[in-house]
Structure 1
Amino acid sequence: MTRALLVVDAQQSFPRRELWRASSNPDVADDIASLVDHFRARGDHVVWVLHTEPGSGTVFDPDRGFVQPLAGLSAGGDEPVLTKTVHNPFTGTTLHDQLGRWEVSEVTVCGIRTEQCCETTARIASDLGYRVTFPIDATATEPIEAPGSPTGRSLDEILADPLTLGTDEVVQRTAYALAGRFADVCTLEDLLSRA
């Protein structure tokens, strides 16, 4: 079985935002580095994916310089680095074709944000026929404001709002949504201990 690790949006854009101070896993780069080392040691493939919003002026605008891997992470010599402008790396990129050339049948998804780009990637990968592993503690997310919340609130205001979903709730919801349907949801420790 040929495997690939998809490192989704583990990029410097996120720590530039105030909301990152409430991240579910501020040390996610260390967890991802463990996975990358594990996949490289097994001779499996690693694919890096970065989210871009060209011309937006945000931290996701490549012109701002933050659309690059988190500190401590970097692509190896022949590991592809893809950029995307949507929530999953299969749409608008060559990822599916590349995985096909490698005859990949199983993907592991890690990165940022648990419920957004990582979960969407897992769902699309499953629909495309890949076996998906989702080490949930090798992902990170931020609190989510309720729909219709006022824009421009401070982090303290967001966290004080009882309608805000905390990171534990977000991560748990993703685990419930994916497990047994779209992915094998596991811990990083469990994945690393597998033969």
Structure 2
Amino acid sequence: MTTQALIIIDVQKAIDDPKWGRRGQAGAEAAIARLLGAWRERRLPVIHIRHDSTDPRSPYRPGGEGNAFKPEVEPQMGEPIIDKRTNNAFIGTDLMDVLDELQVRSLVVSGVLLENSVDATVRMAANLGFEVTIPEDAVASIDRKDRRGKSWSAEDVHALILAVLDGEYARISTSDAIIETLP
């Protein structure tokens, strides 16, 4: 059986900043924490992605309080931390080297925001030949307004992005179903 790595994207204090507006999926961090606990219990690879924004006004900027990981997903000694500056965790980072070193070809990708960094990373991972699973309860979205001015709820954004990714880029599941299949 192929070892799956758990990737946790951008689950930092910055995601709670009011600048993002209303967020859906209030239980996402709890689901990520359950996944993280299951991975650690089984000594499976966990990779933390930290967004280091280059925008000095961003809550994700290095050195700011928002750059810190949320307590639920705080990395432990030995768990790789990949610092990224774009929405894609593969661009300008050593993520591919870490995955190669761990001999991982199957990923469970969780985090925020589904329609931003999670989406960009999942698409790239699939295009690089990784088998990708997204636990729908362990990713979160925010309310969005489209170019025509129509408002979309975080729940609708979440559902649409998952539908677009499903089958072509990833398999959609739940954190509990994924945990049940772990060795």
Q: With structure 1 as the length reference, what TM-score do the two structures score?
A: 0.87
1:66 aligned partner, one-letter code = G
Cα 1:55–1:184 change in 2 (3 A) is closer
Measure how far apart 1:55 and its partner are: 4.9
Residues in 1 aligned to 2:28 and 2:156: alpha-carbon distance in whole angstroms: 18
Q: Secondary structure at the match of 1:133?
A: strand
Pairing 1:1-195 to 2, within 5 Å after superposition: 1-20=2-21, 22-147=22-147, 163-195=150-182
The RMSD of aligned alpha carbons is: 1.5
Residues in 1 aligned to 2:78 and 2:6: alpha-carbon distance in whole angstroms: 14
Residues in 1 aligned to 2:145 and 2:53: alpha-carbon distance in whole angstroms: 21
Moved over 4 A (4+): none
2:135 aligned partner, one-letter code = P
Q: Secondary structure at the match of 1:170?
A: helix
Which residue of structure 2 lines up, in the alignment, with residue 159 of structure 1? none
Q: Give unmatched runs, 5+ long, in structure 2.
A: none
Q: Secondary structure at the match of 1:91?
A: coil
Q: Give unmatched runs, 5+ long, in structure 1.
A: 150-162
Bigger radius of gyration, 1 or 2? 1
Between 59-68 and 179-188, the greater mean CA deviation after superposition = 59-68
Cα 1:174–1:55 change in 2 (3 A) is closer
What is the CA deviation profile of residues 35-59 of structure 1, one whole-angstrom value per residue up to 9, with x for unaligned ones?
A: 1111122221001011121352220
Q: Secondary structure at the match of 1:62?
A: coil
Residues in 2 aligned to 1:42 and 1:182: alpha-carbon distance in whole angstroms: 26
Contact 1:54 1:63 in 2 (8 A): no
Measure how far apart 1:19 and its partner are: 3.5
Residues in 1 aligned to 2:27 and 2:173: alpha-carbon distance in whole angstroms: 18
